[in-house]
Amino acid sequence: MTGTTEDEFDEPMTVGQVARRVGITRRTLHHYDEIHLVVPSVRTHAGYRLYTDEDLTRLQHVVVYRRLGFGLEEIADLLETPDGLVGHLRRQRATVMTRLEELRGLVEALDHALENAMNDTPITDADKRELFGDGFGEEYVAEAEQRWGDTPAWAQSRERTAGYTRADWERIKAEGDAVNAEFARLLDAGVPADSEEAARAAEAHRRSIESHFDCPHDLHVRIASMYPSDPRFTRYYDEIRPGLAQYVDDAVRANAARHGV
């Protein structure tokens, strides 16, 4: 497409004009050009590159896919599929609807937490089973106490959570569900486990653990190592997304390495 003269188009746009119109930086546009994701089709007599309407359409698809969490390599593959504009719009709509369903679930959990926040009543074991399902059971509590009962973290957890109400646990569960949904989104989008986005998710995961006890990065690594090694943890995460247990473990390890662990 390069080599076309500017005279063949009505009003091709410069890099600056496109950046202002689409709302992205010049650096991003130059990067997309360098990796051949969105290449300006027109070159002026002075050597400047200009964007046509077709280029802008392709760029808009890239922007939408990026906002939906797709990686650049994945976007490049999608843009080469033969299903055209309708196919792209349908795919984008389906992704948005999936994200909306996840957010609706989070909103419902937060609404329940807000509704119960006024009661300030301690949560019962029956409430925990209702809230966490198979993620809570007396046998898990007994096993955890046997394994960690003599550690400072266990004592701190028992002390910190003793006064938690149902609203507190609903908030904790909603936060955990949101973290898991973010990890699943990153895994679906092919985002590397050692990326900046995965590091942010790992930090959110570590902070969610600190609802129970202080969790420095070295302890966070030891906890996450159980996800792919313990079949029960593996089943829990992989039911959300196949391979998620290993992805979370990898992301936690990479994030800890960023902090010198």
| Domains, the chain, ordered by start | 6-80 (1.10.1660.10), 95-258 (1.10.490.50)
129 or 179: whose pLDDT is higher? 179
Q: Of the ranges 36-45, 97-106, 202-211, which one carries the lowest mean pLDDT score?
A: 97-106
Output the average pLDDT for the chain.
79
- Show Cβ contacts of residue 169 under 8 Å, excluding neighbours closer than 6 positions: 123, 127, 128, 131
Average pLDDT over residues 65-77: 85
Mean pLDDT, range 88-117, rounded to an integer: 73
- Reported as a pLDDT band with limits 50, 70 and 90, residue 136 is very low
Mean of the pLDDT values across residues 32-44? 92
Read off the pLDDT band of 110 (50, 70, 90): low
pLDDT in the model for residue 125: 57
Lowest mean pLDDT among 141-145, 221-225, 247-251: 141-145
What is the Cα–Cα distance from 181 to 210, expressed in whole angstroms? 19
Instruction: Collect all residues with Cβ–Cβ distance below 8 Å to 120 and sequence separation of at least 6.
Output: 165, 167
Sequence-distant (6+) residues with CB within 8 A of 224 are 205, 248, 249, 252, 253
φ/ψ of residue 45, rounded to 5: -65, -25
| pLDDT above 60 for 67 | yes
pLDDT of 147: 56
Tokens for 87? 């196919």
With bands split at pLDDT 50, 70 and 90, how would you rate the model's confidence at 191? very high
Number of H helices, E strands in the chain: 14, 2
Count of Cβ atoms closer than 10 Å to residue 114 Cβ: 12
- Between 30 and 6, the more confident residue is 30
Count CA within 13 A, CB hemisphere, residue 242. 0
DSSP codes of every residue in 161-227: HTT-BHHHHHHHHHHHHHHHHHHHHHHHHT--TTSHHHHHHHHHHHHHHTTTS---HHHHHHHHTHH
Instruction: With H, G, I as helix, E, B as strand and everything else as coil, classify residue 50.
Output: strand
- What mean pLDDT do residues 136-162 have? 56
Residue 156 pLDDT more than 50?
Answer: yes
Q: 42 burial class (0-12, 13-18, 19+ CB within 10 angstroms)?
A: buried
Nearest residue to 12 via CA among 55, 45, 46: 55
What is the rounded distance in angstroms from the CA atom of residue 199 to the CA atom of residue 133?
28
| Per-residue buried b or exposed e for 141-161, using 16+ beta carbons within 10 Å of the residue's own CB | eeeeeeeeeeeeebeebeeee
> If you count them, how many residues does the chain have?
261
* C-alpha distances out from residue 179 to 163, 167, 173, 175, 253, Å: 24, 18, 10, 6, 16
CB atoms within 10 A of CB 198: 23
pLDDT of amino acid 109: 67
Q: Say if residue 200's pLDDT is above 90.
A: yes
